Amino acid sequence: MRPRSLLFWAGVATMCAWVLVPIWLIAAGAIGGRQGVFLWPKSMLPPEFTFSALAVFLRIEGVGKALWNSVAAAAMTMAFATLLGTPAGYALARFSFRGQNAYRLLILLTRAFPIAILALPLTVAFINWGLYDTTLGVALVHTALALPFAALVTSSLFVGIPRELEEAAWIFGCTRLQAFVKIVLPLALPGIAATGLFAFVISWNEVFAASVLTVRERTLTAYLLTVLSESPLHFRFAGGLVLILPSVVFIFAVRRYLFAMWGIANR
Amino acid sequence: MRKRLIASAAILLGLGFLPQAQAQETVFMSTQLRPIEEAQKVRDVILKGFAGQAVYVTEQPQQLNVRMRAEAAAGRRTVSVIGALHGELQPLQPMGALDDISDVATKLADRGIPANLMNLGKLGGSTQVYIPWMQATYIMVANRQALPFLPAGADINALTYDQLKEWAKNVRERTGQRRLGFPAGPTGLMPRFFQGYLYPSYTGSAVSAFRSAEAEAMWTNFKDLWQYVQPNSTSYNFMQEPLLADEVWIAFDHVARVLDALRQRPNDFVTFPAPAGPKGRGYMPVVAGLSIAKDAPNRAGAVALIDHLSTARTQLVTAAEVGFFPVVKADLPADLAPGVRLAANAIALTQNARDALVSLLPIGLGDKGGEFNKVYIDTFTRIVLRNEPARAVLDREAENLRAIMNATAAPCWAPDPASTSACPVN
Amino acid sequence: MQARPAYLPYLLLAPSVLFLAALFLYPLAETILLSVRTAEGFSFDNYRRMAGDLNFASALGNTFLLVGVVVPLQIALALGLAQMLTKITRGREIVLWVWTIPMGVSDLAAGLVWLALLTDRGYVNSALFALGLIDGPTGWLSYETPVTLFVAIVLAEVWRATAIVLVILVAGFGLIPKEYGEAAEIFGATPWQRFTRVTLPLLKPSLQTALILRTVLAFEVFAVVFALGGRNFPVLVSEAYVWQFENQSYAVAAAYAVVVMAISLAATAIYLRVLRVKPEARL
Q: Concatenated DSSP letters for A237-259?
A: HHHHHHHHHHHHHHHHHTHHHHH
Q: Are B272 and B142 in contact (CB under 8 A)?
A: yes
* B positions 121-180 inside 8 Å of C (CB): 177
Output the pLDDT for position C280: 46
What's the CATH number where A149 sits?
1.10.3720.10
Q: How far C197 CA sits from the closest chain A CA (Å)?
A: 18
- The domain in which residue A81 lies consists of 61-266
> A55 lies in a domain?
no
Query: Is the model's pLDDT at A51 over the cut of 90?
Result: no
Residues A103-133: tens digit of each pLDDT? 888 888 888 888 888 888 888 889 888 898 8
Residue B245: how many other CB atoms lie within 10 Å: 19
Percent of chain B beyond pLDDT 70? Answer: 95
What's the CATH number where B62 sits?
3.40.190.10
Q: Are A211 and A225 in contact (CB under 8 A)?
A: yes
The residue type at B198: L
Nearest CB to C216; choose among A111, A167, A194: A111
Give B186-218 as a DSSP string. TTSSHHHHIIIIIHHHHHS-SSTTTTSHHHHHH
Output the pLDDT for position B18: 44
Output the pLDDT for position A267: 33
> B88 lies in a domain?
yes
Residues A58-99: tens digit of each pLDDT? 777 778 888 899 999 999 999 999 999 999 999 988 888 888
Output the pLDDT for position A19: 92
pTM attached to this predicted model? 0.87
Query: Is the model's pLDDT at B10 over the cut of 60?
Result: no
Shared domain check, B61 and B112 = yes
Query: Phi then psi for B143, rounded to 5 degrees?
Result: -75, 140
Output the pLDDT for position C150: 95
Strand ranges (E), B31-159: 53-58, 81-85, 131-136, 138-143
* B positions 24-43 inside 8 Å of A (CB): 27, 29, 34-37, 39-40, 43
Highest mean pLDDT: which range of B115-129, B300-314, C40-54: B300-314
The span from the CA of B138 to the CA of B338, in Å, is 18
> B152 lies in a domain?
yes
Shared domain check, A89 and A21 = no
Q: Helices in B285-337 by DSSP H: which ranges?
A: 299-309, 312-322
Strand ranges (E), chain C: 37-38, 41-42
Say which residue, B217 or B59, is predicted with more confidence: B217
Strand ranges (E), B188-293: 250-254, 269-272, 281-283, 286-292
Q: Helices in A60-134 by DSSP H: which ranges?
A: 63-94, 100-112, 119-129
Question: Band of the pLDDT at A226, cuts 50, 70, 90?
Answer: low
Residue C130 CA: distances (Å) to CA of A40, C113, C116:
11, 20, 17
Nearest residue of C to residue B386, measured between CA atoms: C143
The span from the CA of B59 to the CA of B79, in Å, is 11
Shared domain check, A38 and A89 = no
- Dihedral sign, Cα of residue B208, residue B211, residue B217, residue B218: positive
Nearest residue of A to residue B20, measured between CA atoms: A134
Shared domain check, A73 and A26 = no
* C positions 41-80 inside 8 Å of B (CB): 54
The mean pLDDT of chain A is 83
> B399 lies in a domain?
yes
Set of chain A residues whose Cβ sits within 8 Å of the Cβ of C81? 15
Yes or no, beta carbons of C246 and B245 under 8 Å apart: no
Q: Are B187 and B237 in contact (CB under 8 A)?
A: yes
- The domain in which residue B328 lies consists of 23-135+286-335
Shared domain check, A83 and A46 = no
The span from the CA of C211 to the CA of C272, in Å, is 10
Residues C65-75: tens digit of each pLDDT? 999 999 999 99
Half-sphere exposure at residue A132, Cβ-oriented, CA atoms within 13 angstroms: 25
Nearest CB to C247; choose among B63, B237, B370: B370
B374: left (phi over 0), alpha (psi -120 to 50) or beta: alpha
Q: How far A3 CA sits from the closest chain C CA (Å)?
A: 15
Say which residue, B292 or A61, is predicted with more confidence: B292
Nearest residue of B to residue A139, measured between CA atoms: B14
End residue of a domain, out of B335, B368, B394? B335
Output the pLDDT for position C137: 83
B31: left (phi over 0), alpha (psi -120 to 50) or beta: alpha
The span from the CA of A133 to the CA of A144, in Å, is 17
Say which residue, B1 or A29, is predicted with more confidence: A29
Shared domain check, B252 and B200 = yes
Predicted complex ipTM: 0.84
Say which residue, C53 or A60, is predicted with more confidence: C53
* Mean pLDDT for the stretch of residues B317-340: 85
Percent of chain B beyond pLDDT 90? Answer: 60
Output the pLDDT for position B75: 80
Set of chain C residues whose Cβ sits within 8 Å of the Cβ of B175? none
The span from the CA of A173 to the CA of A176, in Å, is 9
Q: Are C67 and A214 in contact (CB under 8 A)?
A: no
The mean pLDDT of chain C is 86
* B positions 208-247 inside 8 Å of A (CB): 237-238, 240-241, 244-246
Nearest CB to B232; choose among C54, C139, C242: C139
Query: Is the model's pLDDT at C283 over the cut of 50?
Result: no
As for how many domains chain B has, the answer is 2
Shared domain check, B91 and B63 = yes
Set of chain C residues whose Cβ sits within 8 Å of the Cβ of A199? none
Yes or no, beta carbons of A251 and C104 under 8 Å apart: yes
Residues B385-424: tens digit of each pLDDT? 999 999 999 999 999 999 999 998 888 988 998 888 899 9
Query: Is the model's pLDDT at A141 over the cut of 80?
Result: yes
Q: How far A135 CA sits from the closest chain B CA (Å)?
A: 6
**Which of A72-86, B5-19, C243-257 has the lowest average pLDDT?**
B5-19
Nearest residue of B to residue A78, measured between CA atoms: B10
* Mean pLDDT for the stretch of residues A44-62: 77
Q: Cα B308 from chain centroid?
A: 23
Say which residue, C110 or A53, is predicted with more confidence: C110
Residues B168-204: tens digit of each pLDDT? 999 999 998 999 999 998 889 999 999 999 999 999 9
Question: Band of the pLDDT at B3, cuts 50, 70, 90?
Answer: very low
Nearest CB to B36; choose among A60, A127, A139: A60
Shared domain check, A189 and A79 = yes
Question: Band of the pLDDT at A241, cuts 50, 70, 90?
Answer: confident
Q: Are C222 and C181 in contact (CB under 8 A)?
A: no
B148 touches chain A (CB under 8 A): no
Question: Band of the pLDDT at C17, cuts 50, 70, 90?
Answer: very high
Shared domain check, B305 and B164 = no
Query: Is the model's pLDDT at A266 over the cut of 50?
Result: no
Yes or no, beta carbons of C246 and B385 under 8 Å apart: no
**Which of A138-142, B325-329, C155-159 has the lowest average pLDDT?**
B325-329
Query: Phi then psi for B355, rounded to 5 degrees?
Result: -95, 20
Half-sphere exposure at residue C268, Cβ-oriented, CA atoms within 13 angstroms: 28
Shared domain check, A218 and A95 = yes
Optimal mutation site among C168, C175, C245, C250, interface A, most CBs of chain A within 10 A: C175
The span from the CA of B18 to the CA of A130, in Å, is 8
Domain at C41-274: CATH code: 1.10.3720.10
> B35 lies in a domain?
yes
Nearest CB to C109; choose among A26, A85, A159: A26
Output the pLDDT for position B116: 85
Percent of chain A beyond pLDDT 90? Answer: 18
Query: Is the model's pLDDT at B23 over the cut of 60?
Result: no
The span from the CA of B61 to the CA of C66, in Å, is 29
Nearest CB to A76; choose among B14, B35, B57: B14
The span from the CA of A215 to the CA of B252, in Å, is 33
The set of residues, in sequence order, having a beta carbon less than 8 Å from that of C214 and lying 6+ positions away, is C71, C74, C75, C161, C164, C165
B28 - beta bridge partners? B56, B81
Query: Is the model's pLDDT at B14 over the cut of 50?
Result: no
Three-class SS of residue B315?
helix
Residues C78-112: tens digit of each pLDDT? 999 988 888 887 787 888 889 988 888 888 788 88
Question: Band of the pLDDT at A3, cuts 50, 70, 90?
Answer: low
Question: Band of the pLDDT at B5, cuts 50, 70, 90?
Answer: very low
**Which of B9-18, B74-83, B370-379 has the lowest average pLDDT?**
B9-18
* Mean pLDDT for the stretch of residues B248-264: 93
Residues C144-192: tens digit of each pLDDT? 899 999 999 999 999 998 988 888 888 778 777 777 878 888 888 888 8
Q: Cα A55 from chain centroid?
A: 26
Output the pLDDT for position A258: 63
Nearest CB to C31; choose among A117, A176, A265: A117
Yes or no, beta carbons of B264 and A35 under 8 Å apart: yes
* Mean pLDDT for the stretch of residues B126-147: 94
> B417 lies in a domain?
no
* Pairing relationship of beta strands B138-143 and B269-272 according to DSSP bridges: antiparallel
Shared domain check, B219 and B188 = yes
As for how many domains chain A has, the answer is 2
Domain boundaries, chain C: 41-274
Output the pLDDT for position C212: 86
Yes or no, beta carbons of A149 and C26 under 8 Å apart: no
Nearest CB to A212; choose among B6, B63, B76: B63
Question: Band of the pLDDT at B17, cuts 50, 70, 90?
Answer: very low
> B397 lies in a domain?
yes
Which residue, among B158, B236, A258, has the nearest Cα to C139 in the 3D structure?
B236
Query: Is the model's pLDDT at B21 over the cut of 60?
Result: no
Query: Is the model's pLDDT at C281 over the cut of 60?
Result: no
Nearest residue of B to residue A41, measured between CA atoms: B245
> A56 lies in a domain?
no
Output the pLDDT for position A257: 66
> B122 lies in a domain?
yes
> B12 lies in a domain?
no
Give C199-265 as a DSSP string. IHHHTHHHHHHHHHHHHHHHHT--HHHHHHHGGGS--HHHHHHIIIIIS--HHHHHHHHHHHHHHHH
DSSP summary character for residue C145: -
Shared domain check, B279 and B292 = no
Question: Band of the pLDDT at A228, cuts 50, 70, 90?
Answer: low
Which residue, among B161, B199, B349, has the nearest Cα to B282 in the 3D structure?
B199
Yes or no, beta carbons of B62 and C245 under 8 Å apart: yes
